[in-house]
């Protein structure tokens, strides 16, 4: 059984571009020498490995989400919901103090940015659900 292709709304196209930009920025940022040198003094350990793994998995899922949403597949909702769940795990682990604090950033602004990121991620996942769900005739 194949999925019926839906016409892609303009907001879905914008979300696809946004997701691809997340992927490109993270990949480029990982290989910039300034980024690599700036991260060498960050504490290592289980939480750093967990957060790094979540970051890279979320990056890969951003590219997958862009492609599946571009094709208007139902899988886009599943991928975007998974990204939201990973973001929630990232937020909880970093707020528990297991993650190293950002240099020079007030704790409140980091907290607010995390909440806003989660809200945007949840909104994008819900929107993907709405536009890719089968319509009742």
Domain boundaries, the chain: 10-32+43-131
Indicate if the pLDDT at residue 18 is higher than 80: yes
Task: Assign 136 a pLDDT band (cuts: 50, 70, 90).
Answer: very low
Structure tokens at 109: 């602004």
Determine whether 89 is exposed, middle or buried from the number of CB atoms within 10 Å of its CB (0-12, 13-18, 19+): middle
Task: Assign 99 a pLDDT band (cuts: 50, 70, 90).
Answer: low
Q: 113-123 in b/e burial notation, b at 16+ Cβ within 10 A? A: ebeeeeeebee
DSSP letter assigned to residue 101:
P
pLDDT tens profile 40-87: 545 556 666 777 788 889 889 999 999 999 999 999 999 999 999 999
Task: Assign 29 a pLDDT band (cuts: 50, 70, 90).
Answer: confident
d(CA 134, CA 18): 25
């Amino acid at each position: 059984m194949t999925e019926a292709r839906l016409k892609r709304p303009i907001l879905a196209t914008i979300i696809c571009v946004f997701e691809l930009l997340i992927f490109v920025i993270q990949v480029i940022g990982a290989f910039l020498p300034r980024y690599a040198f700036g991260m060498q003094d960050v504490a290592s350990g289980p939480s750093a490995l967990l957060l790094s793994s979540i970051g890279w998995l979320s990056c890969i899922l951003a590219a997958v989400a862009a492609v599946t949403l571009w094709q208007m597949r139902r899988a886009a909702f599943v991928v975007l919901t998974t990204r939201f769940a990973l973001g929630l795990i990232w937020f909880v682990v970093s707020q528990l103090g297991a993650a190293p604090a950002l240099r020079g950033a007030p704790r409140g602004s980091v907290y607010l940015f995390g909440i806003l990121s989660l809200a945007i991620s949840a909104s994008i996942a819900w929107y993907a659900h709405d536009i890719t769900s089968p319509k009742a005739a």
